[in-house]
Chains A and B, each alone.
Chain A
Amino acid sequence: MTDQTASPADLATATRAAHVGRGPWVTALRKLRSDSAAVLALFFFLVIVALCLLAPLYATYVAKTDPFRSNLSGKIEVGGETVPIMATSTEGLGLGFTPIGPTWDPTAYMLGADAQGRDVAARLLYGGRNSLLIAGASTLICLILAAIVGLVAGFFGGWIDWVLSRCLDVLWAFPVYLLAISLSIVLISHGVDIGPISINAGSLALPIFIIGIIFVPYVARPIRGQVLSLKESEFVLAAVGLGVPAYRILLRDILPNVTTTLIVFVPLLMAINMVTESALSFLSIGVQQPNASWGTIIQDGQGLLYTRPMVAMAPGIAIVLTVLTLNVFGDGLRDALDPRSKLRIGTT
């Protein structure tokens, strides 16, 4: 009789939650919904994803360009006048060409052209698809690997734990970009052939795989820690005592208890992976030409930085907005699911 303020309605929800057995999830969802910044961030993120998915429609029906083919001699109509996409440069010796700048007209090179006369706006949308795909897929790979390593190391202990933990120590101490650079330069220069699997050098699978593994220790270590303490909890001891097989305990008793941690990592990892992808692509060891990603477009724009800054600025703004929405949403999600956690992974 300590709680005298509980209203019948509260009691009703409490019992219902107990019946359905989803109490924490419902509470978390409710908490998340009341966090207007997180909801807004998620909305903007979904808008960005939708826009990028619509890239082919934009390129075919609105801009009417092929963002993957160079177009050095083309002409377009801007405000009734016909202008070449690549104008003869007025700077220096007048030998080079300056691509057309932003016209702000969605039907004709809205954000201008890059050094090869390709529509920056259309490439931005196509590039976004690759950036988002790589960020998402590598997050998935990272979480799956980290969950397996963390669960196995924490649960089985002994020499398995020792070996896995030492591997994590090495990966953890290895600066992520140096690891990514080593892997990328070796894999991307010649592609990969492992038995029947053959991945060519331009495949998106390479950056996805590379970014997927470099952050594994950052997730696996907290998971392992959680599993270690869960292993001592009464319900696991009871299951062990009842003779439940190990794989069943792992999947039915322990995994559900670490899923919140894994979920909290999703937006934050996606944000970091997106920045990492852009950095690798900028160093020309991520997404390969003629494919685009936001990082490669920034790289394309580097030579045009002072004449046509939009080529490098637009994808950067896209990255900042996307990563910002992910970070804000991630903060909200963490507060909702796991308010006391102090999860943090370094961004670069």
Chain B
Amino acid sequence: MLLALIRRVGQMLFVMFGISVLVFLIFFATPGADPAARIAGRNASPETLQAVRLDFGLDKPLPVQYAKMMTKLFITRDLTSFVNRGWKVIPAVMDVVPVTLSLVIGAAVLWMAGGIAIGLIAAATRGSLLDRSLMMLGLIGVSMPVFWLGEVMNLLTQSRLHGTWLFSWVPPLGYKPLSTDPAGWFLTLVIPWITLATLYMGLYGRVLRANLVEAGQEDYIRTARAKGLSETRIMIRHALRTSLVTIVTLFGLDFGALVGGAALLTEVVFGLQGIGKLTYDALKNLDLPIIMATVMYASFFVVTANALVDMLYVVLDPRVRTRGRSN
């Protein structure tokens, strides 16, 4: 088991290294324009360009530039923006982490609960109208761009239906810190949570249903039936338990995709000042140091999260100890 864990950590470190090289190459070695001009932002003065060249060691060979970049990002943490002169990037990223985590964790709770409920109900009523409409709704949820759904939600809850009893409690867009205003924190996040969870609820419901239906044909389910157990008990204690393995695997992958994707779009639409919104604002200003920092930190977070999920498997599931999960 220890060997498997060490191997997984090694793989994680390798992937992190690969990602950092890739990001570095994208930002510093893409042919076409002078990297200094990119980093300095729009209409930079010659002095700024010179400062950027000096700061990032752009006159030195690529491996030196890479080392310099990584030192700035992870060791001295003094990467600065040139669009907002002198703004330290890493503390700015760290400051907004709680916003993104609040959004993602709340949505994850909602979509796991919703997805499992949908999957169970659909599988239990297989072939019925309820099953088919749940699956159709799930597919519609999967097909919606999350930022557009967010706009629809905003239109309804902030404008068109805001006057009615249904949505009059929805506060204006923005984020309130959990430590100072717990009620406000909860209320401002409810609609973003629902928006973000809708997409994954549909997906998880569909996957779980397929798994449960498949599990229904397994020998151990037949045995459980022969023992005279109730259908509910078979479904929850026997079929669901094995199907959850797939769901947890998916969760590990999607959680990562979410931090670096759908959450970003949701933050933009709902004006939540998290990592995604920070990245978005940097995109608007062409503030590349910010983007480098958010991309690097977010992807390292994702890689670590995935590795932790995998290691959890190694500890929990004896079968994984002998063979790699990823291949």
CA distance A319 to B265 in the complex (A): 16
Out of B151, B265, B283, B302, which one reaches A284, CB within 8 Å? Answer: B283
Question: For the complex, is A193 an interface residue (Cβ under 8 Å from B)?
Answer: yes
* Nearest CB of A to B287, in Å: 9
Q: Give the docked Cα–Cα distance between A282 and B203 (Å).
A: 23
A327's contact among B27, B139, B151, by CB below 8 Å, is which? Answer: B139
Cβ contact within 8 Å between B302 and A316: no
Residue A22 interfacial (CB < 8 Å) = no
Which of A185, A298, A316 has most chain B Cβ within 10 Å? A185
Pick from A191, A295, A305: contact of B154, CB below 8 A: A305
Q: A186-B38, A306-B158, A320-B144 are in contact. Are A177 and B286 (CB under 8 A)?
A: no
Do the beta carbons of A327 and B260 come within 8 Å of each other? no
* Complex Cα spacing A302 to B14, Å: 41
Please measure, in the bound complex, the distance between the C-alpha atom of A316 and the C-alpha atom of B147, giving whole angstroms.
9
Q: B287: nearest residue on chain A (CB-CB)?
A: A185
Are A193 and B31 in touch, CB under 8 angstroms?
yes
Min CB distance B106 to A, Å, is 18
Alpha-carbon distance between A320 and B147 when the two chains are bound, in angstroms: 12
Closest B-chain residue to A169, C-beta based? B15
Interface size on B, residues (CB 8 A): 64
B323 within 8 A of A: no
Candidates A173, A316, A348; contact of B199 at CB < 8 Å: A348
Tell me if A283 counts as interface (CB < 8 A to partner B): yes
CA distance A279 to B260 in the complex (A): 13
Is there a chain B Cβ closer than 8 Å to A36's Cβ? no
B255 CB to nearest chain A CB (Å): 10
Q: State the CA gap A166–B148 with chains docked (Å).
A: 35
Which size bracket describes the interface of A in this complex? 35 or more
Check B142 against A327 for contact (C-beta < 8 Å): yes
| Contact string against B for A residues 165-203, beta-carbon threshold 8 Å, 1 for contact and 0 otherwise | 011011001111111011101110111111000000000
- Contacts known (A193-B32, A344-B207); A175 close to B265, Cβ less than 8 A: no
B146 lies within 8 A of chain A by Cβ: yes
Contacts of B314 in A (CB 8 A): none
| Closest chain B residue, CB of each to CB of A198 | B32
Q: In the complex, which of the residues B15, B27, B298 contacts A175, with contact meaning CB atoms closer than 8 Å?
A: B298
* Cross-chain contact A181 with B291 (CB below 8 angstroms): yes
Q: Closest CB-CB distance, A312 to chain B, in whole Å?
A: 5
Beyond A170-B15, A282-B265, is A182–B26 a contact (Cβ under 8 Å)?
A: yes
- Nearest residue (CB) in A for B276 is A177
Q: Give the chain B neighbours of A323 by CB distance below 8 A.
A: 143-144
B22 — which chain A residues lie within 8 A by C-beta? 170, 174, 179
Contacts of A348 in B (CB 8 A): 146, 199, 257-258, 261-262
A139 at the interface (CB under 8 A from B): no
A275→B327 CA distance, assembly (Å): 28
11 residue pairs of the A-B complex, CB under 8 angstroms, read A169-B18, A176-B261, A182-B295, A186-B26, A192-B30, A282-B147, A301-B151, A305-B155, A312-B155, A319-B145, A346-B253
Contacts A185-B283, A324-B143, A346-B203 aside, 13 further interface pairs with beta carbons under 8 A come to A176-B261, A179-B22, A181-B295, A182-B27, A182-B292, A278-B145, A298-B148, A306-B155, A309-B155, A312-B148, A319-B148, A347-B199, A348-B257
Report, nearest first, the 6 A-B pairs whose CB atoms are least far apart.
A175-B260, A170-B18, A177-B261, A190-B33, A316-B148, A323-B143
